[in-house]
Amino acid sequence: MFLFGCEGHNLLGFSTQEDALKRLVILAALAPLLNVVASAQSAPGYHIIKRVPIPGQGSWDYLTVDEKARRLYVSHGTQVEVLDVDSGAVVGKIPNTLGVHGIAIAPDLGRGFVSDGKTSTVTIFDLKTLKTLGTVTSGKGPDAIIYDPATSRVFAFNGDGNSTTVIQAADGKVAGTIDLGGGPEFANADSEGHVFDNLEDQSLVVKIDSRNLKIEARWPTAPCQSPSSMAMDHPHHRLFIGCRSKVMAVMNSDTGQVITTLPIGDHVDATVFDSERRLIFNSNGEGTITVIHQDSMDKYSVVESVKTVPRAKTMALDPKTHQLFLSTAEAGQFEILVVASGEPRASTSDPVLVGAGDIASCDDLAGAYATAKLIDKIPGTVFATGDLAYPNGSDKDFSNCYAPTWGRFKDRTRPAPGNHEYHSTGASGYVRYFGAVAGDPLKAYYSYDLGQWHIISLNSECAAVGGCSAASEQGKWLQQDLKNRVAGCTLAYFHKPLFSSGLAHGNDVEVNPLWEILYHAGADIVINGHDHDYERFALQDPNGKADPQHGIREFVVGTGGKNSHRIFANLVANSEAHQADTFGVLKLTLHPKSYDWQFVPEEGKTFSDSGSGNCH
C-alpha cells in the first residue's frame, strides 16, 4: 500500500381549486412526519472540521495515534511528522525513514517502530525524545507494522517479501520470520497471543500464533475480495475487514466465519473502530468515509457516507475525542484532514435509569403516590424491581393500585417480577399488564441496551422459572447474553438481594449463581428490592468479600411505597449506606465508562446518598 407553471394549472401545480384544497389538507396531516424527516436529514453528522497543512512534498501512508501521549504520527515521504493531537502543531520529526509506511508504538516500553519500505529496515525511536535508537533489517519492502502487547513483539509485514519479520520490542532483536504465502496488507493483534493479517492477493486472512510464530489458520474472506484494511472489536472477537470489492466483512476471529458484509465506498484503505460509540469507519480513496453502526455483536447497519477528498484513504482514530485523521495532498499541499461529528449520534446527554421496588400497596397508596411525584420530574428509563402491586399482583391490584401511581410511566418502564407477582398463577397480572416489554411471559427475564450500558432484568423467583443455577435455563441464557453484549458497562436488576441487612428477609443465597455469572462477566451494578429499605454496598464479590477492583456494587431499593417491615437487623459486611424511614427512588446517570448514583427522597424528608463509580 503506497499513495501518490404550465397552462391549466395554478402555481402549486393543481388543476382545480378543489384539488388544491384536498392536497393542502393531506400536506397538513403529513407535516409532523415531514418535520421529523427534515430534522433527521439536517442533524449534524461527521464532517471535516479542520485542515492541518504540513510543509513538504512526498508520498504518504499510515497514521498512528498515541492516545495517552496525545501525539499523532504521520508517514510523509522520507520522514515521520509528529503532531500534537489536540492543537495540530508539529512537535517533531523522525527523519531518514526512506519510503516510510507505518508506525507502531509500544507505550509500555517507551519505544516506537517505523517500517522503511525503500531500505527494507525498521527504525526504532524513543517515544519521548523522538531520537532514533537503531535500525533492524526486515524482509523486503516492509509495509504495515503493529505492536503485539501480549508478547511485546513488533510484526513488520513485508509487502514485497510475502512475509512478516518479528522483532523483540525491548531489545530490537529479530525473533523470527514467518512466510505468509501471499501479499500482506493491514494487520491487528487481539492482545491474547494472536495476530491477524489480510492477504490481499489471496483474499485470505491468516491467524498467527504470536508466541510460537506459527500460522494457525487461513480463512477465506469471500464474498469479500481483496481485503485491505482491518480493525477489531477485541472483547467480542470480531474483525472488521475493508475489501476492495466495496464491502466490509465482519469475521469471527475465533472461527473465521464471515458473519455478514456491508456496502462501502470504492478503494478502501483504512478501517477503524470507535468502541465507545460502536461505530466502524472505512476511509475510501474515492473521497468518502463509510460509517457503520454496530447494532449488536452480529448485526450492523450503514448510517452515513462522509464526504472527504479524493485519495484521502489512510486514517487513524483518537478514542478520547472520537476525531478521525486522514492524510491527503489536494492541489499539491500535503495536509491532515480532521473529521468529527457535530454532536453525539445517540443523544446530547447520558441516559438516566431511575426507579425502585416494592411499590403500590392497595391498603395504603400514600408511599407510591409520593415516589411517583419524584419520577414525574426525572426523565429517563424507569426500572421497577418487583412486588409492584400488593397484595397479590392480580389484574385488579395492577388496575386499582399500580396504574394510578406508577402506571403513568408504563411506556418508559422496564420491570422485573417479585414474589407477590407470583401470588397470581404464572404472574398473570404482571404479564398481562406489561405485555411484551417484560419479556417472554413464561420466563420474565430479558435485556436491553441504554446508551453505552447493557441492562439485564432477571427473575429471582427461581422455582417459577426452572431455577437460578448456572445450569438452569435462566443461567444459560444469562451467560449467553453477557457473551453477546456489545455495550461496555453492565447493570442487572431483580427482586431478591443476595446481600441485605433487612430484618424481614436479609440475604437470599438462592440468587448466588446469578451473581457468580455476573461477577465473572465483569458486571458493575446489581439493583434489588424485597426488603423495604434503602441500602448501598461497597464493591464486593459473590462471597461478600470486598473487591475494589472487580467487585459489583449492590443497591437495595425497596423504597417505592410499601410501608411494612421497614427495620434493619445487624448490618451485613460492606454495607456503606442505609435507611429505613424514607420512601424514595434511585437515580443513576449512566456515562459511557462510569456512573453517578443519587437516592432521591420523598418530599419533606432529608436522607440522601450519592456518589460515582467507574465501570470495570
What is the residue-wise DSSP string for 492-531?
A: EE-SS-SS--BSSS---GGGHHHHHHHHHTT--EEEE-SS
Q: Which residues contact 82 (CB under 8 A, 6 or more apart)?
A: 71, 72, 73, 74, 90, 91, 92, 93, 94, 130
pLDDT at 349: 67
Residues in the chain: 616
Whole-number Å distance between alpha carbons of 197 and 144: 9
**Who has greater pLDDT, 53 or 261?**
261
Task: Please state, in angstroms and as integers, the Cα–Cα distance from residue 564 to each residue in 42, 191, 226, 454, 531, following that order.
Answer: 54, 53, 68, 33, 9
Whole-number Å distance between alpha carbons of 275 and 246: 23
For residue 216, how many C-alpha atoms fall within 13 Å in the half-sphere facing its CB? Answer: 16
pLDDT at 420: 96
Q: Indicate the pLDDT class of residue 331, thresholds 50, 70 and 90.
A: low
**Who has greater pLDDT, 44 or 144?**
144
Is residue 114 within 8 A of residue 145, CB to CB? The reply is yes
pLDDT at 263: 97
Query: What's the 3-state SS for 305-337?
Result: EEECCCCCCCEEEECCCCEEEEEEEECCEEEEE
For the chain, count helices (H), then strands (E).
6, 43
Instruction: Please report, in angstroms and rounded to a whole number, the separation of the first and last CA atoms in the chain.
Output: 38
Query: Tell me: the pLDDT tens digits for 281-305?
Result: 999 999 999 999 998 888 999 999 9
Q: Which of 57-66, 224-233, 564-573 has the highest mean pLDDT?
A: 224-233
Query: Tell me: the pLDDT tens digits for 453-497?
Result: 999 999 999 999 999 999 999 999 999 999 988 878 999 999 999
pLDDT at 286: 92
pLDDT at 274: 93
Whole-number Å distance between alpha carbons of 497 and 505: 9
- Residue 36 above 70 pLDDT? no
Q: How far is CA 13 from the centre of its chain?
A: 50
Has this prediction a pTM greater than 0.95?
A: no
Query: Tell me: the pLDDT tens digits for 498-509?
Result: 999 998 899 999
Whole-number Å distance between alpha carbons of 286 and 608: 57
In single-letter form, the type of residue at position 584 comes to G
**Who has greater pLDDT, 306 or 565?**
306
pLDDT at 455: 96
Cα four-point dihedral sign 455, 298, 312, 122: positive
Cell of 355: 426507579
Query: Tell me: the pLDDT tens digits for 99-118?
Result: 999 999 999 999 999 999 99
Give the least confident one: 34-43, 87-96, 102-111: 34-43
In single-letter form, the type of residue at position 545 comes to K
Q: How far is CA 404 from the centre of its chain?
A: 37
Burial of 613 (0-12, 13-18, 19+ CB in 10 A): middle
Residue 2 burial (CB count, 10 A) = 13
pLDDT at 77: 85
Is residue 584 within 8 A of residue 607, CB to CB? The reply is yes
Question: Which H or E run includes 454?
Answer: strand 453-457
Question: What whole-number percentage of the chain has pLDDT above 90?
Answer: 79
Strands 575-579, 534-537: pairing is antiparallel
pLDDT at 29: 41
Question: What whole-number percentage of the chain has pLDDT above 70?
Answer: 91
- Residue 441 above 70 pLDDT? yes
**Who has greater pLDDT, 30 or 198?**
198
Give the least confident one: 23-37, 178-192, 255-269, 340-354: 23-37
pLDDT at 485: 86
pLDDT at 60: 87
Burial 263-282 (b: 16+ CB within 10 A, else e): ebbebbbbbbbbbebbbbbb
Query: Tell me: the pLDDT tens digits for 373-406?
Result: 999 999 999 999 999 999 999 999 999 999 999 9
pLDDT at 44: 42
Q: Which of 153-157, 294-298, 349-353 has the highest mean pLDDT?
A: 153-157
Q: What is the mean pLDDT of residues 315-326?
A: 94
Whole-number Å distance between alpha carbons of 338 and 497: 49
Strands 553-557, 534-537: pairing is antiparallel
Q: Which domains does the chain have, with CATH numbers?
A: 96-220 (2.130.10.10), 223-313 (2.40.128.630), 352-614 (3.60.21.10)
pLDDT at 334: 85
Q: Indicate the pLDDT class of residue 22, thresholds 50, 70 and 90.
A: very low
Task: Please state, in angstroms and as integers, the Cα–Cα distance from residue 437 to each residue in 432, 440, 446, 594, following that order.
Answer: 11, 9, 9, 27
**DSSP classification of residue 399:** I
Question: For the chain, what is the largest distance between any 2 Cα atoms, rounded to a whole number of angstroms?
Answer: 90
pLDDT at 566: 76
pLDDT at 342: 65
Question: Which H or E run includes 376?
Answer: helix 366-376
Strands 575-579, 594-601: pairing is unpaired
- Residue 554 above 50 pLDDT? yes
Average pLDDT for the chain:
89
